[in-house]
Chains A and B, each alone.
Chain A
């Protein structure tokens, strides 16, 4: 299944690469889009591998029982061994095998029976897990396929078709952004309205994320710790500080509440193993144990100590620390799920607004077609760099077409020859911008190169 999934992915990539040079640039833009379900698929496939290994282990044990039962039966001279041996084959009937060997070993006592019953139970459980794993794999494959098809349906990628190409993408980008910011209900409404959108956005993944973020907002670290335990090995691989920070936060909450004894016990139980890795932070937190009482109002004589305590340890108890935790959690969560750290929409807009930004966008002559003339977008673009142009791109003010043969009026205004023809009336021409009237003969040819 993994091979099939990989083949699909690489074939699509090959198809894409087979296009022009410009088409391969689409990968830079869209790579994370296909990767997310693909990575999820890889994980599901690995899980399946583990389950199969467990099943094999159980089958091995059953075989041992069966062979020992055989030996006993051979000794006792009964003829049911054949059935027991055949039923040893995988897939089909572990239950039959179990009952056969149970029969065979009936003679030798109940303890075999109970062990076999246990193994039977394990097998049943594994079968269920396998079923669930296959189902989730199916879902992920479906999503991979939908996304690859979506990308192919977008068509050629290039500046001539940019607007059409992007129309299909924009909806998905907006929903993705909504999910990231936590506007779950709106995002769901959008997905319900458009069936094709479902497999293209990570509603489930973000729902899980949002639940934990909500719990952190209500100052509870429980769900977040659960997440850490469930993904311990992967978090370790990305060198995540999340669990340490969560434990530290709980410890500091206890200190803040004033229950010093409990705090110390908590620290002994949970913070000990991080001592070597995060020593400085741990030391600061421990010191806060001592200084905590000074942070309360009151204690006139301790004025100096309070100041020092506040300076050095006050920030540990600030509300901003919880927001920090949220950020750290989100970052690690996204990393684990191969999601980009920022919303794709934000990146696109940043790059796009900058590439479109000209000094005229904020002037009085701005065109309503220019996205930067929209107040909200203009604000976003305020700190972005201007676009760089090393070649002239001239557009006739009157016809809004590419300037073909520029003509200049005596007042300095320039229009294309086609525009001049349109504006000409009875041998005279009136400048649309200033209103001055000139003779047609006063037009001069211009060569801006």
Chain B
């Protein structure tokens, strides 16, 4: 049995409620959430949150401009956007430009600001920020794992076909028998594979840097050093190195 804390469930429920409001173009709950986070984070590094907050405010500005007119929009801007003058001046200038076209933004050079993609984007951004604050992954782990599986299955199926029935049970192996390229979206850690031995780095076999700047695994380095008593040569650049000068590195 898997147990999920009530607190976590509630946080997710709250998040979904706000997202639903965003879907019907209501920004108020999201803005309230952001304000709550600011208060909780008082004095800490507020920089991370600012782009989401700014986006919310600018969308609210556009909304007010199209529905209620110049004055309320301008008042809103004075109240909320001035804090972002330092970081988002370019965007603020664009928003001010919109004021000129308040009657028909859809025919102005700023019509892109009205597009639906902004609303979809803001939902995604909000969910990411929320998950971040909750300490949860930004993408559902089930989604990521099954997406990786969908990419991996054809390769594994081919392997099973090629190897025949006897050796095809890859689930019992220590390491997967074939390499599966998943792409950047699935890379969460640095993986160092020594170019010489083609083995992955592990706590017993960490990457080492030679003074010339090239990197090998510790085992490959030890092997190179064993063969000669003299200082050995780096396999890449033909400069001589001493074993003692090599340093353990961490990616």
B-contacting residues of A (Cβ < 8 Å)? 25, 28-29, 157, 159-160, 162-163, 165-167, 169-170, 173-174, 345, 347-356, 358-360, 365, 367-371, 373-374, 376-377, 383-395, 397, 402-403, 406, 408, 412-414, 433, 444-449
Given contacts A369-B137, A412-B247, A414-B249, contact A446 B186 (CB under 8 A): no
Nearest B residue to A376 via CB reads: B2
* Interchain residue pairs A-B with the least CB separation, the first 9: A352-B149, A159-B183, A348-B149, A352-B148, A371-B141, A166-B147, A25-B154, A351-B149, A351-B152
Q: Which residues of B contact A413 (CB under 8 A)?
A: 249-250
B182 at the interface (CB under 8 A from A): yes
Beta-carbon contact of A394 and B148 below 8 Å: no
Q: Which residues of B contact A397 (CB under 8 A)?
A: 190, 251
Q: How far is the CA of A169 from the CA of B214 in the complex (A)?
A: 44
Q: How far is the CA of A367 from the CA of B170 in the complex (A)?
A: 26
Q: How far is the CA of A46 from the CA of B170 in the complex (A)?
A: 40
Given contacts A368-B135, A397-B251, contact A159 B144 (CB under 8 A): no
Q: Which residues of A contact B180 (CB under 8 A)?
A: 355, 387-388
Q: Which residues of A contact B143 (CB under 8 A)?
A: 163, 166-167, 170
Q: How far is the CA of A390 from the CA of B192 in the complex (A)?
A: 9
Contact of A385 among B147, B176, B187, B202 (CB under 8 A): B176
Number of interface residues of B (CB under 8 A): 63
**Shortest distance between the CB of B239 and any CB in chain A (Å):** 12
Q: How far is the CA of A385 from the CA of B172 in the complex (A)?
A: 7
Contact of B189 among A29, A370, A390 (CB under 8 A): A370
**Shortest distance between the CB of A27 and any CB in chain B (Å):** 9
Beta-carbon contact of B139 and A391 below 8 Å: no
Q: How far is the CA of A377 from the CA of B140 in the complex (A)?
A: 12
Q: Which residues of A contact B203 (CB under 8 A)?
A: 359
Contact of B147 among A163, A358, A402, A408 (CB under 8 A): A163
Q: Which residues of B contact A412 (CB under 8 A)?
A: 209, 247-250
Contact of B185 among A163, A349, A371, A377 (CB under 8 A): A163
Nearest A residue to B178 via CB reads: A388
Contact of B153 among A28, A369, A387, A403 (CB under 8 A): A28
**Shortest distance between the CB of B217 and any CB in chain A (Å):** 11
Contact of A446 among B144, B148, B175, B215 (CB under 8 A): B215
Beta-carbon contact of B179 and A390 below 8 Å: yes
Q: How far is the CA of A163 from the CA of B149 in the complex (A)?
A: 11
Contact of A162 among B138, B176, B183 (CB under 8 A): B183
Nearest A residue to B148 via CB reads: A352
Q: Which residues of B contact A163 (CB under 8 A)?
A: 139, 143-144, 147, 185
Segment among B30-38, B69-77, B193-201 that sits at the interface with chain A: B193-201
Q: Which residues of B contact A408 (CB under 8 A)?
A: 209, 247, 249
Beta-carbon contact of A394 and B192 below 8 Å: yes
Contact of B171 among A365, A367, A377, A385 (CB under 8 A): A385
Interface residues of B in 93-151 (CB under 8 A from A): 135-151
Nearest B residue to A348 via CB reads: B149
Q: How far is the CA of A164 from the CA of B40 in the complex (A)?
A: 33
Q: Which residues of B contact A406 (CB under 8 A)?
A: 251
Nearest A residue to B132 via CB reads: A368
Q: Which residues of B contact A352 (CB under 8 A)?
A: 144-152
A371-B145, A393-B187 known; 8 new pairs, CB 8 Å cut-off, are A356-B186, A367-B188, A368-B137, A371-B148, A395-B251, A408-B209, A412-B250, A447-B215
